[in-house]
Chain A
């Protein structure tokens, strides 16, 4: 069974540009979560999507947005990039809201560098 996949592995952008990160969940999982892991910090919750809808959002500005497609894959968009957006972005998936507080399984991450 394939795990959570993310693309690209690395992404280099300049300030002010937009970045798009992609995630494919484990087959059968309907929930996708996005986290930011900046150097020296823990995981900061960004967004949670389930069944195509945004269910919850962390304490991040509106320029962090995303969506979930009918096949449950997801993309995270970061507009007007700032230097402090440089981080590892992790995607996780789970069975979704049909199961209470289910285990999240993580992808390998996308390293975003903003110059």
Chain B
């Protein structure tokens, strides 16, 4: 079985500052993908960033980057220059095996003006 753990139920960050959201996971698969999804109050789930486990280089998408530590099974999301529009629930997800995706319970991010 694969598991995803997000240990921070809520986080807050000052506008323009940097925040890191934590995620740890466990899987027996050798080939897997990790994702961060964002769910704003409008509730549409949006893909933020994706990391292939076989790649050592950390994925980056504009202000969003990950710190992927494969040995430690850690996959954190860093948001730089935080904006009010970043306020949302952030879900870490693991896709391994036969299209099986497991989500964490989410971290609610508040951005303070």
Interface size class of B (residues with CB under 8 A): 20 to 34
Number of interface residues of A (CB under 8 A): 26
Q: Is A105 an interface residue (CB 8 A)?
A: yes
Q: Is A25 an interface residue (CB 8 A)?
A: no
Whether B99 pairs with A31 at a CB distance below 8 angstroms is yes
Whether B106 pairs with A101 at a CB distance below 8 angstroms is no
Whether B105 pairs with A42 at a CB distance below 8 angstroms is yes
Q: Is A15 an interface residue (CB 8 A)?
A: no
Give chain A nearest CB distance to B106 CB in angstroms: 6
Closest-by-CB residue of B relative to A104 is B101
10 A-B residue pairs with Cβ-Cβ distance under 8 Å, sorted by A, are: A31-B99, A33-B101, A41-B105, A42-B91, A56-B100, A88-B43, A100-B31, A106-B45, A107-B44, A108-B43
Binding site for B on A (CB under 8 A): 31, 33, 35, 41-43, 45, 48, 50, 55-56, 88, 90, 92, 94, 97, 100-109
Q: Known A-B contacts: A31-B99, A45-B101, A94-B99. Give 13 more (CB < 8 A).
A: A41-B105, A45-B100, A45-B102, A48-B99, A55-B98, A55-B99, A101-B33, A101-B97, A104-B95, A105-B47, A106-B37, A107-B44, A109-B45
